[in-house]
A and B are shown apart, each in its own frame.
Chain A
Amino acid sequence: MSDTPTDDGPPRSPDGAMGPDSFHVGEPTHILGQANEGKIDGVAKITGSAVFTDDIRLPRMAHAKLLRSPHPHARILSIDTRRALEMPGVLAVMTGEDLPTRHGAIPIAQDETALAIGKVRYVGEPVVCIAATTEEVARAATRTIRVVYEPLDAVLTVEDALDPTMPVIHEQGKRPSNTTRRVHQHFGDVDQGFAEADCIHEAVYQYPGSTHVPLEAHAAVAEPLPEGRLKLWTSTQNPHYVHKTVSHVLGMDETDVRIIKPDVGAGYGGKCETFVTDLCASWLALKLDRPVKCALEREEVFYAHRGRHPTRMRVKMGMKNDGRITAIDFEAIANGGAYASYGVVTAFYLGVFLTLPYTVNNVRFTTMRMYTNLPPCGPKRGHGALQPRFAIESHIDKMAELIGMDPAQLRRTQMITAPATTVNELHVPSCGLDSCLEEALLASGYAARRGRLPTGRGLGLAASVYMCGALHGVYRDDLPHSGVQLQIVRSGRVTIFSGTADIGQGSNQMLAGIVAERLGITPKLCRVIEGDSDLCPVDLGSYSSRVTFMAGNAAIDAADKIRAVIAQAVAPSLGAVPAALEFRNETVSAAGRSVSWKEAVRIAEAAVGTLGSTGSYRPPKAHRSFRRNPIGPSPAYSFTAAVAEVDVDIESGIVAVDRVWCAHDLGRVLNPTIAEGQIEGCVYMGVGEAILEEQLYDQGQMQTPSILEYKVPTVYDTPTIEAILVESHDPGGPFGAKEVGEGPQLAIVPAIANAIHDAIGVRLDHPPFTPEKVLRALQGRPIAVPDMPSLTPKPR
């Protein structure tokens, strides 16, 4: 590495990347990777002093409440708001026409408005918003609204959505249909691959929908500022996207809107968009010229949803007798709900990762994401890649049995080795899957125990892959994906300004750790100011497992620049060249002479003036087929191998997941405590999807919109988890690091499915593995997976 200040202007490499001169891969660390000395926001969180959006109370603040649709699909004939307006305390009543600009997560699929206009498309869709002096009055006023609806036929299933005689949910556009997106891609020679196969197996799988259940419900507080400006506090994963969308929908200049993300009680993908809370609070605040809070009730979070797409999949796989996969032919159809959300991306993710983590050169897939009259689906931990991973990893175990091969050996023989470029041109710079597999097998005693446990007890293995952010953001421009700015004052304190969104996952700790590592100081000297559009450089947000990789590199970039400035200033007083200086233990030293960090800062400030720097990260451009395969390429991929041990009660059909060994290749461990926590969270969420969580709808109405009846696991349902951290030193990751927040979950559900097969000899191809499904399978009368519909488009 170099300690010489870089030239003016951003560094540009031939592949279009922007970022630090060195990623410091493989360098020894003194702060990073050490046992955690305490999360920098930990005390605030456990003492209750952390401030979440709903904690914010401003003078004259009004409260907004929503009236929601009782129909899955209906025309709005009239809305009578008179009685509400006459109620004491009611300040304003807002309907769809008040804010008609369309918006959506993806620029090419903007199909939502703040409140329904003309028709409603799901039970629970917001129709009217009322602001009043108290929450109680606002809520009572919504109950006085008379809406006259003309019910329409509801499109509830993917079969309904494919049926050209059913109504179209979104009538705008050139060729209206209930298909959000259809993707068909073909790589290699699939037919030839099947011709070469010794064994061909085909099966249909149904992965269920599920939702995130963040502890904190969505909330927003909008405050009007002088000269028509607006400040909005919001519980979000993506302050930057909220900033752009709120400005766009309200017709305001982005410079007049300030978005602040306070402490957030988790998201898991459920807070990646601009919600009705943001838009209604903002519009009402400007109209009333007083602050407005709009906070969802728990029931409403289930309607806001944006969770896992229920997905039906057909897998046809060809295999040689030695276990090598010769071809995959794959179809998937996802029930997307009433709005697009990130559904265009989902349609791609359902197919593009079929070429990993095993070398498969002949792949063909067709995926469809459909509109239906249900709450909109979107990204949930492992977005779109998780459903096919369940199908593929289940299918591989079935084929291993068919050809009489050990499932672990089958995976071992064909997992990719990095660097590799897949047939669909995903470039994989690093892969530690071999170590993940061996560690998980060893820890679980898989080789000796699988197939030899008493009836009812079983072990199952699965492997998976995930991305570290997207090479191409939702906006097609040349701007960095992450920016970090540092300010160092003469007390020695370092302030890190970043547009990232710490939603509890610990990205602030990551930023402080990286900056502290490069400057040789304790993370406690670092303050992180993040998620504030007035104060912080842009970061695209906490989604796609991109933050450590991208914002981490921007932090290295900023830290190395200011380190070079300080080294240049301090070197003469130590009698050394700048490159020889060591920054460590709050000391800057060379050849036995040293100054304290604080002294070094004072020397540098005296020499060059106020100390500050900026850093950026933009991933390299994708390989040449960007236009064909725009969604899927990532600067790096993480890998997981998991073994689950289950105990199946054969009299009741109840499945208990006793233990999970989850080995994850996260490139480099930056913080072992937080990394293990992320793996534990992934296992927990995977267990919920595997055995408990079901989104039951009746006539489009969610049957369990509460955390009493929507069954996320309790501590008693959570297995003993052994998180195993595997390092592969990615050449482009910060210090070699990759993601750990999502990838581990992909392997959990198929590992449990494979363990159930080992335990009781039956295959279950449609989670959740409820007692009834298990029992019926044991009784030889299984509940069948529905047939795969034809994905050939039918003309309307």
Chain B
Amino acid sequence: MLPFPPFELARPGTLHALLQRLEEPDARILAGGTDLMPNLKHRIEKPPTLISLKGVQELNGIVENEDGITIGATTTLSEVAAHPIVSERFPALRDACRTVGTSTVQAMGTLGGNLLLDTRCRYLNQPDGWRTAIGGCLKCEGNVCHVARTGSGCYAAHSADTVPVLWLMGARLRITALTHEREIDLPELYTSDGIRRHTLRRGELLHSIHLPRPRGFVAHRKLRTRGAIDYPLLLTAVRREGSGASAVLSALGPQPILVQAAVAADLPEKAWAAAKPLNTHTASTSWRKHMVRVEVKRALESAVTLALQ
């Protein structure tokens, strides 16, 4: 078995105590651990301290309010998927939660954790001895990107299954810290850099996710090699807007991309043109590009079906 590197586990019991610990320079948050734990075992990260969110009750749960629902960041993916309001008003979010990993991963993994899932790459998410043989990579113990050798950036793929649908649902994020609090739209969380992949600053915590009342029907599709377990090869969310439509695509690069078409029928072609899959996965890049058109078309069809129901 792969042993863990040594770390200290802090379990603050209040939000205040938690935010205090987050001020420490190397603080690393532990929520469900389904992303972080394998990365620790692979020595992709070696944080000295993990700060558990488990003891802070107010981060957990789903609350209905006047203009929608608010989901606490540590609400598990199973809890989100099983919630009646989610099923009724945000069925695409339920569908997306149910495609994450396996049912055991969904039972441990949290919605906040999914939003902040680390970017992934075939050259990064490997045991440390394996990475040594290729001299590491830009994101971890090296100075070459094996995906784009001549480039200067990291292209590790954003792989969070719930993000494209939350994006199209207009999710807003509440971010809290010891000294301040702010709200941002979901797209503002991400950057084009696979290493500095999100915009949270030191001391900040993703507190909760707010979904306004649904506007239009959102459909979710996840392309993966097998029927379970796998991270996405392509994530597609589509929303119909009058005669037009929007798509958010992910697993193509460090952040999701938004594609819009005034005429819905043009969306698959526009999405295909915008998508530039890279060699971040072992699956064929040209096939993943081909599948953008297929997946967007199919998502559009299911968005229509949902609208008719």
Does A associate with B in a complex? yes
Q: State the CA gap A692–B230 with chains docked (Å).
A: 13
Q: How far does the Cβ of A168 sit from chain B's closest Cβ, in whole Å?
A: 23
Closest B residue, CB atoms, query A65: B3
Q: Is the interface of B mostly helix, strand, loop or mixed?
A: loop
Give chain B's interface residue range (CB within 8 Å of chain A).
20 to 34
- 0/1 per residue, A614-643, Cβ < 8 Å to B? 000000000000000000000000000000
Q: How far does the Cβ of B59 sit from chain A's closest Cβ, in whole Å?
A: 28
- 0/1 per residue, A596-629, Cβ < 8 Å to B? 0000000000000000000000000000000000
Give the segment of A339-347, A471-479, A703-711 that binds chain B: A703-711
Given contacts A692-B226, A708-B230, A713-B226, contact A701 B133 (CB under 8 A): yes
Closest A residue, CB atoms, query B5: A136
Asked if A791 lies at the interface with its beta carbon under 8 angstroms from chain B, I say: no
Asked if A715 lies at the interface with its beta carbon under 8 angstroms from chain B, I say: yes
Q: Collect the chain A residues with CB atoms within 8 Å of residue B284's CB.
A: 770, 772
Asked if A139 lies at the interface with its beta carbon under 8 angstroms from chain B, I say: yes
Q: How far does the Cβ of B273 sit from chain A's closest Cβ, in whole Å?
A: 18
A771 contacts B228, CB within 8 Å?
no
Asked if A123 lies at the interface with its beta carbon under 8 angstroms from chain B, I say: yes
A135 contacts B133, CB within 8 Å?
no
Q: State the CA gap A709–B3 with chains docked (Å).
A: 20
Asked if B134 lies at the interface with its beta carbon under 8 angstroms from chain A, I say: yes
Q: State the CA gap A1–B229 with chains docked (Å).
A: 55
Q: State the CA gap A713–B230 with chains docked (Å).
A: 11
B227 contacts A717, CB within 8 Å?
yes
Q: Collect the chain A residues with CB atoms within 8 Å of residue B286's CB.
A: 772
Q: Collect the chain B residues with CB atoms within 8 Å of residue A171's CB.
A: none
Q: Collect the chain A residues with CB atoms within 8 Å of residue B290's CB.
A: 775
Size of the chain A interface, CB-CB below 8 angstroms: 36
Q: How far does the Cβ of A299 sit from chain B's closest Cβ, in whole Å?
A: 5
Asked if A70 lies at the interface with its beta carbon under 8 angstroms from chain B, I say: yes
Q: How far does the Cβ of A276 sit from chain B's closest Cβ, in whole Å?
A: 15
Q: List B101-147 residues whose CB lies under 8 Å from chain A.
A: 122, 125-130, 132-134
Q: List A678-723 residues whose CB lies under 8 Å from chain B.
A: 692, 694, 696, 701, 703-706, 708-709, 711, 713-717
B287 contacts A775, CB within 8 Å?
yes
Asked if B2 lies at the interface with its beta carbon under 8 angstroms from chain A, I say: yes
Given contacts A692-B225, A713-B226, contact A139 B3 (CB under 8 A): yes
A68, A652, A696, most chain B CB atoms within 10 A: A652
Asked if A304 lies at the interface with its beta carbon under 8 angstroms from chain B, I say: no
Given contacts A704-B282, A708-B230, contact A297 B127 (CB under 8 A): yes
Asked if A653 lies at the interface with its beta carbon under 8 angstroms from chain B, I say: yes
A135 contacts B127, CB within 8 Å?
no
Asked if A753 lies at the interface with its beta carbon under 8 angstroms from chain B, I say: no
Closest A residue, CB atoms, query B122: A703
Q: Collect the chain B residues with CB atoms within 8 Å of residue A714's CB.
A: 226-229
Q: Collect the chain A residues with CB atoms within 8 Å of residue B3's CB.
A: 135-136, 139
B291 contacts A652, CB within 8 Å?
yes
Q: State the CA gap A143–B229 with chains docked (Å).
A: 31
Asked if A31 lies at the interface with its beta carbon under 8 angstroms from chain B, I say: no
Q: Collect the chain A residues with CB atoms within 8 Å of residue B308's CB.
A: none
Q: Collect the chain B residues with CB atoms within 8 Å of residue A696's CB.
A: 282
Q: State the CA gap A174–B287 with chains docked (Å).
A: 49
Q: How far does the Cβ of B105 sit from chain A's closest Cβ, in whole Å?
A: 11
Given contacts A297-B1, A299-B129, contact A772 B287 (CB under 8 A): yes
Given contacts A703-B282, A771-B287, A775-B287, contact A715 B1 (CB under 8 A): no
User: Which 6 residue pairs are nearest across A and B when measured between Cβ atoms?
Assistant: A716-B227, A70-B133, A772-B287, A772-B284, A714-B228, A299-B127
User: B: which residues have CB within 8 A of A?
Assistant: 1-3, 6, 122, 125-130, 132-134, 225-231, 282, 284, 286-287, 290-291, 294
Sample 22 A-B pairs with CB under 8 A, ordered by A number. A70-B129, A70-B132, A71-B133, A295-B1, A297-B127, A298-B2, A299-B127, A299-B129, A651-B294, A701-B133, A705-B127, A705-B130, A706-B127, A709-B125, A711-B225, A711-B226, A713-B226, A714-B229, A715-B227, A715-B228, A717-B227, A772-B286
